[in-house]
Structure 1
Amino acid sequence: MQTIGVQSLTKTTTDTFTKNIWLYYLFAAFSSMDFTRGIFILFFLSRGFDHSQIGLFQSILFGSILLFELPSGMFADRYRRKWSVLVGIATVIVGFIGVLVSKNFYVVAGLFALKGLGMAFSSGANTALLYDYLKTQGSKAKSTYLQVSAKSRNIGNLTLAFAIWLGGVLEKQQGWSYAYGAAIVAYFLAGFCILFFQETPHESHSHEERPSVTASIKEYLSSTTGKYLLLLIAALCFFEAGATPLYIFSQSYFQAQGLDVATIGLIMSLASLANSFWYTFTSFFKRFELKNIILGGVSLFALLVLGYALPYNLTLHVGLFIFLASFPNLVFVFTDTYLHQQVPSNIRASLISIQSLVNSLSIACSYMALGYFMDHGFGVKAMSLLSIPPLLCLVLLGVYFKKAGKISHV
């Protein structure tokens, strides 16, 4: 009878694990189905906004993320991470609906701020939710997280590729409301999946005994490991400042070359498919030191983005964009996993939120600067200026690796 009971418990645990992992994969799929992702710049241009205004909208978005990242991460650590994710999803849905019905500059700016709030509640919390759950599944938690994280990113990019392509088709055949409507439905389904994900309670302390999140953060960041981690976060934020605006403003770049919305959507879709291609090489790259993966990836990006200054060639620049928009995500898989490994469970969402906060600040500045230069003399060749932030990243990485010493494989 005891053996039967143990077998039943094991089967229940296995079933719960399988259900949770599938729910997370479905969440990754639906939350990536932003049918407007590859064409939303064109949507706002069609409504009379210029590049500087769109750059300001994006800066407001990331400024809002910056403002709410740490409070939302502390909320997720203090209460439940899946509720934090659900609040984020609901807020993003409201933002989608709002931009469809309003053309007022100030209203749209407010909606971008609202969307930033939603993204802040989701970022950090969703990966912390997964990592802490996997930690309860045995000694291979770290490798399991890397595998599940890479696979979920792969799934997300495949579905994003499909959504971007279909978004362009929907806009061309039916109009913008259909593309935004499809995104709203997808986000509802993402919320449904995360609602039924079984969350793992915080480790080591009961609710009454648990020290304050703020005190735990201060204690960790005052340690040698914490100080080095902040230096790495500061370095990587400059890589983000180059990679993120490149993807978004390339929509405008290709439109300036005479391509239509559907074709641009297809190009953006191919970039997402390329992400999936790189994720299949995660196991191969695990054999290299994290130091070499990061330095090599950032250096290659900084060099190739200068290609935007060359005379336009369809084949060259589409290929260049697809590589530059996809390869950095392979680097981010390893850096994200490494960061999770360095952070205690009880403040994981908060520390990842600090990373997102720093990223948001650098990306917001990059958006504003790039939008300004595109509207004031440089035109679309201003894209080549995105080589500057990765160069700053390399300088800080040099300091980090000199101080922190050799880092083991992820």
Structure 2
Amino acid sequence: MTDILDELQWRGLVAQTTDEAALRSALAEGPITYYVGFDPTAQSLHVGHMVQLLNMRRLQQAGHRPLALVGGATGLIGDPRPTTERSMNSREVVAGWVERIRAQIEPFLSFEGDNAAVMVNNLDWTAPMSAIDFLRDVGKHFRMGTMLSKDIVARRLASDEGLSFTEFSYQILQGMDYRELFQRHGCTLQMGGNDQWGNLLSGVELIRKTEQASVHALATTLITKSDGSKMGKSEGGAVWLDPELTSPYAFYQYWLNTADDDVVHYLKVFTFRTREEIEALAVEVAERPFARAAQRALAGDLTTLIHGQKATDGVISASQALFGRGELRDLDEATLRGAVSELDSTPVAVGDLVVDAFVGSRLVASRGAARRAIAEGGAYVNNVKVTSEEQAFTSDDLLHGRYAVLRRGKKTLAVAAVS
């Protein structure tokens, strides 16, 4: 296998490290123990977290030992955001989110073998600590000038919102986590996004001062789109890993819609495809962009990774069926529900006129336009051509007793659904 640091650099994932030569040497001599932290600030991880999850997997496959930290303590505080103070969630809510996120992390790692992963929760060592112990044993090693100079802190202090002492203290807690994992597990590398660089260094410095030891930090590149916008957002908001929040169909479509300018980079960042495979797909993008082979590979790989092969097969079948290249009635209810969840919709009941559903779903602007679409042979219900402007919905039109897929022409879709 290629040197793991070279591999990460080829994939465009390394923004900065503490001492690249020392880190490269440690990885080569390894195995080393490394960690990544995930705070439960929502009930699910989103696609932005996949960069760290996949990097943890890459390092484990290279023989190193991962510690996955779910921040039951830091999740109660909240890492400072660029603009406003985070809302504090109750202890019960955060504890529930910890368990959900642990379950999402586990499939990415192996918990068996010589380099078995370990799951940890920083509430275990933070909760028993008194305020006096925290200030004497940890806080005294942090200097205000250094803390105030960190980019996110400086920006928040200059804003109208300001910055509370609670969020200001977050960097101390993260530094304490690294030291605790160094002491308990011999952890010598922390990874995180480049926007976390200041927090990563907090732990490196705390260990240097209190343990007289040198450890490493690696910040990964923040993934953006070629137009400069943030990756991981759809029109409906964040793209979640939880299928109840983002359906497998919507998840697949998000990646399928990747721009040609972004897709090769995303294949490097988010898949385990080899250099040869990615280079071949890059040629496809350049020579046959209309085929979208790279996007299909990206969407298929990631949907299978997160939701399983069966879900991916169902999503592909649904995509074909929506546009008349498969049978809608063969789709199970969950797959169909996910497939139509992003479409414009209108309520329907047995006996309602199809022309009214076309207007209500905004497939057409008026009843007159709906009648013209029918007369021209361009109106469909469940891929069956509508032949009469007086046609009404029957119970047989409602797939799974609820949904009727409407289509105008070849590509314009909507759904009528029993409310």
TM over 0.5: no
Give the number of the structure whose alpha-carbon radius of gyration is greater.
2
Task: Report which of the two has the higher share of strand.
Answer: 2
Task: Report which of the two has the higher share of helix.
Answer: 1
Relative contact order higher in (CA < 8 Å, ≥ 6 apart): 1
